[in-house]
Amino acid sequence: MFNRFWHDIWILMFVVLILTGIFAGQGLVIGLGAMGLLVAGMSWLWNRLSLEEVHYERSVSQSRVFMGEETTLAVSLTNRKPIPLGRVDTEDEFPEEIEVIGAEVAPSSNPKSMVLRHHTSMSWYERINWEYTIRCATRGFYRFGPVKMESGDLFGFFDSEKTGRSSDYLLVYPKVVPLPDLGMPAARPLGETRGGIAIFQDPSRPWGIREYAVGDPLKIVDWKATARMRQLQVRTFEPSSSFTVIMVVLVETSERPWEGYSPTNLERVITASASVASYAAEQQYSIGMFSNGTPILSDRPMKLAPASRPEQLTIILEALATVRPLPIGPMPPQLAQNLRQFPMGSTLVVISAILSAEMVDTISNLRRQGYRLVVIFVGDSDPPQMPEGVIMHDLRTFFEDMETMETTLEFRPR
């Protein structure tokens, strides 16, 4: 606004010179004013065209990486017109959790954001490239952009600005640690795995239909087949013959919601969950997940039906990468509401940093209903006593040692 004010003053001065020259009969003064207006007009037109056909492009070499890994950010600026530019300034927004090594960065006006800056001049039809290394130290779903570009005329009379809305994304998976490194036994860390339970049907494995029999639950009635055959028909399923693991991920890290949350304990829960999922995938188990955490792009609890397909691990890691810090509600009532979706005979792996008395009662009830229970505790305090038959893994010491080692490496001179 300040520069525009002075530009208007200069134009007004040139107009005054021309009028003064006309009234005074001074051709030199008229010529000087006309020349000034001509320069101002050329500058105005140059400014209007300065950002036309100027394209800012960015690309991330790997849009999905694990915590601690590095990837490459490539940026290019192209002037696709026969007009040179004395200056081009760009500010590309990115989240503060991402470290762009070797770049000029500055705080953004938006919270928890930074801007990547470039200052350059360009000749006609020129393309300029930059390349940076991105260090991914925090899990999450991150967006790059928008980018703001500024330019103007060669004389500096006028400025123009344009915002590019294109965005690029980066997904950082949580850390995955081998279970023995977490202090869990390499042999049967989730309990006995032989066989599966053949007497239970697996809803994820449809088999066919048959006539309705007294005692069949209404939820398995196939209404389309019933209408077609004019007789009640129910869906049938293959018996559960594979080892099914359902991860029950509790994201609360404090007893009361208004106390906030512990970032350290939340990351412990996410790391342990990702590690169990990786182990189950290696063993070719059927694995699912239920959590009272909510991903960034949703406001509902995460529910993933158990499956043994190759992409199941990727789906779970993507969900864990985007978990927000606060739960949508206490876990016990949500478990009770969604329990029927868990195949009977499956192993429920409860992963938590805090276990309330209500949650311990829920674990006991699940045990009595025939589920196998494994509890992975990662909190700071002593875990409560578990009911008989529930496997408990207390991983506090291992996470504390891991965090101490990471802090030592972080502050070690390079």
What lies within 8 Å, CB to CB, of 220 at 6+ separation is 234, 235, 236
Domain boundary assignment for the chain = 2-45, 54-173, 179-198+241-411, 201-239
What string of pLDDT tens digits covers the 414 residues of the chain? 445 555 566 666 666 666 676 677 666 666 666 676 677 777 778 888 889 999 999 999 999 999 989 999 999 999 999 999 989 999 999 999 999 998 999 998 888 899 999 999 999 999 999 999 999 889 999 999 899 999 988 777 778 899 887 788 999 999 998 887 776 766 667 775 554 444 445 565 566 777 877 667 777 888 888 888 888 888 876 544 458 899 999 998 887 777 778 889 999 999 999 999 999 998 888 899 999 887 765 556 688 888 888 899 999 999 999 888 888 888 888 888 888 778 777 889 999 999 999 999 999 999 888 888 999 999 988 889 998 889 999 998 888 888 787 766 554 554
Which residues, listed in sequence order, are joined to residue 161 by a DSSP beta bridge?
Answer: 150
CA-based R_g, the chain, Å? 32
Specify the fold of 54-173: Immunoglobulin-like (2.60.40)
For 94, half-sphere exposure in the C-beta direction (CA atoms, 13 angstrom radius) is 25
Neighbours of 29 (CB within 10 A): 18
Nearest CA to 392 among 381, 404, 406, 377? 377
pTM: 0.76
Integer Cα distance of 269 and 252 in angstroms: 10
Domain 179-198+241-411 has CATH 3.50.50.60: no
Integer Cα distance of 316 and 383 in angstroms: 26
Give, for 150, the enclosing helix (H) or strand (E).
strand 147-152
